[in-house]
Amino acid sequence: MNLASDDALILAVSDYSETSQIVTLFTAHNGKLRALAKGSKRPKSPFGGPIDRLQLVQAVFSVRAPGGLGLLTELAQRETFPGLRANLRNFYAASYAAELAIAATPDLDPQPEIFKILADTLRRLSSTTESDILLFRFEVRLLGLLGLRPPLDQCVACHRLREPARGGFFSPPVGGLLCRQCAQLQPDAAGRQPVAFKVAGKALDALLFLAAAGDDELGRVRLAVATAADMRRLLAAHWQYVLDRPLRAAHWVS
Ligand SMILES: [Zn+2]
**What is the CA(170)–ligand 1 centre distance, in A?**
11
Residue 54: pLDDT above 70? yes
| pLDDT given at position 131 | 93
**What is the CA(184)–ligand 1 centre distance, in A?**
9
**What is the CA(155)–ligand 1 centre distance, in A?**
5
Percent of the chain with pLDDT over 70: 96
Residue 51 located in a structural domain: no
In angstroms, rounded to a whole number, what is the distance separating the alpha carbons of residues 166 and 185? 19
Residue 97: pLDDT above 70? yes
**What is the CA(180)–ligand 1 centre distance, in A?**
7
**What is the CA(171)–ligand 1 centre distance, in A?**
12
* Average pLDDT of the chain, as a whole number: 93
| pLDDT given at position 240 | 93
* Mean pLDDT, residues 176-190: 80
Vertex 244: Cα angle to 239 and 245 (nearest 5): 85
From edge to edge, which strands make up the β-sheet containing 176-178? Answer: 176-178, 168-171, 197-199
Residue 97 located in a structural domain: no
**What is the CA(173)–ligand 1 centre distance, in A?**
15
Q: What is the pTM of this model?
A: 0.94
Residue 248 located in a structural domain: yes
Question: Of all helices (H) and strands (E), which one includes residue 14?
Answer: strand 3-15
Residue 147 located in a structural domain: yes
**What is the CA(148)–ligand 1 centre distance, in A?**
20
DSSP string for residues in 71-94: EEEEEEEEE--THHHH-HHHHHHH
In angstroms, rounded to a whole number, what is the distance separating the alpha carbons of residues 123 and 24? 19
Question: Of all helices (H) and strands (E), which one includes residue 21?
Answer: strand 21-27
When pLDDT is cut at 50, 70 and 90, the band that residue 184 belongs to is confident
**What is the CA(181)–ligand 1 centre distance, in A?**
6
Number of folded domains in the chain? 1
* Mean pLDDT, residues 70-77: 96
Question: How many other CB atoms are found less than 10 A from the CB of residue 69?
Answer: 13
Residue 9 located in a structural domain: no
**What is the CA(188)–ligand 1 centre distance, in A?**
14
**What is the CA(199)–ligand 1 centre distance, in A?**
15
Residue 194: pLDDT above 90? no
Residue 138 located in a structural domain: yes
Q: How many helices (H) and strands (E) does the chain have?
A: 8, 8
pLDDT in tens, 130-165: 899 999 999 999 999 999 999 999 999 999 999 999
**What is the CA(14)–ligand 1 centre distance, in A?**
47
Residue 192: pLDDT above 80? no
Residue 186: pLDDT above 60? no
When pLDDT is cut at 50, 70 and 90, the band that residue 187 belongs to is low
pLDDT in tens, 102-113: 999 999 999 999
Domain of 191: which CATH number?
1.20.1440
**What is the CA(182)–ligand 1 centre distance, in A?**
4
Largest CA distance in the chain: 67
Residue 6 located in a structural domain: no
pLDDT in tens, 7-41: 999 999 999 999 999 999 999 999 999 999 999 99
Owning domain of residue 218:
130-254
